[in-house]
Structure 1
Amino acid sequence: MLRASDEPPAGRAARMTALHADHARAVLRLLLLLTRDQRQTAEDLLQETMLRAWRHLDAVPTEPDAARRWLLTVARRLVIDGVRLRRGRPTEVHLVDMTWVPAGDDTTGAALASHAIRRALGRLSPAQRALLSEVYLVGRSPKEVAGRLGVPVGTVKSRTHHALRALRTGLEAA
């Protein structure tokens, strides 16, 4: 029987590509759930999960369901490790001023912030609103959005950048 470490590099690469293609979406969904929809953090953790799978390809089961369980376990443990690490570190300083965001019990502040966001979104074109909704609310990747719209990925990224800039400008005006 051939172990993964005895496989030629091309076979290892093909196996890793198949693992990613078959399971990355499910792992990302779990990570989004565990990180409370912090997409950037979830994507970073997905990348670390796949990196660990690559490093320990011998340990990843060959049966698809078992491989998925292995990847989900690694991802969950990475989230737990991240939480433990943050508990032991001082609070990070954020570069973005979030003081305008109301506290959970500030209903007036929440209403004002909600109104400001609605007004800023209302100033965007329908295409910009739809694009931001696809990327940030639905959670589709730029590649998926590009496929849906029939445009290059770079165009989606550029339009997303411009839509976010317009939204920021609308929020500053509000």
Structure 2
Amino acid sequence: MKISADFTRLPDKYGKFADDSHKTDGYPTTSFPFYIDSMNSAVRYIHLEFVDDDAIPVCGHQWIHWAVANIPVDALMFDFNDSHALQIPEDFSRQLPSLIPEAVQGRNSSWGKIAQQTNPSVTMRYNGPQPPDKDHDYKLCVYGTAQPFKELSEGFYLNELRNLVFRTDAVIDYGEIYFSSRAH
């Protein structure tokens, strides 16, 4: 599986410098678009995580920006005239509950002890990068499976997804990509 995007540095509207139309309660919540190519044909569901390891020196742990499980591949956009047949569109996170109700989104780090947010539109959706100290690098991981992870429900924790990913043989394809986001 190959993950790609039209950029390597996240455009401002997906992070710290987003204007108010791309924010919820002051947090950037418009998720970025990306492509999935060369995926194993046996994959029927994709699951993803978007995390910041550069946050570890700042807050003491990896910052979780987005976690999603159980996205049926058949429900995603296919354009056979495009070199990128499978696309996750812009603002997918906020639109996902109405587009694909069987897919579920997990909690991000904004619900935790540091940010202490309670709005599910912030805590259980994409939460864009806001690096406080310097430019940070972010990792998007996409896992492909033949079956959904039925054990997961809306608001799951990333460790629950990772336990299913790494402690079972369910994953039949995998891809990752890194993005940077500016602090200043």
TM-score w.r.t. the length of structure 1 is: 0.23
- Which one has a larger percent helix, Structure 1 or Structure 2? 1
Higher relative contact order (CA 8 A, sep 6+): 2
Structure label with greater radius of gyration: 1
TM-score w.r.t. the length of structure 2 is: 0.22
- Which one has a larger percent strand, Structure 1 or Structure 2? 2
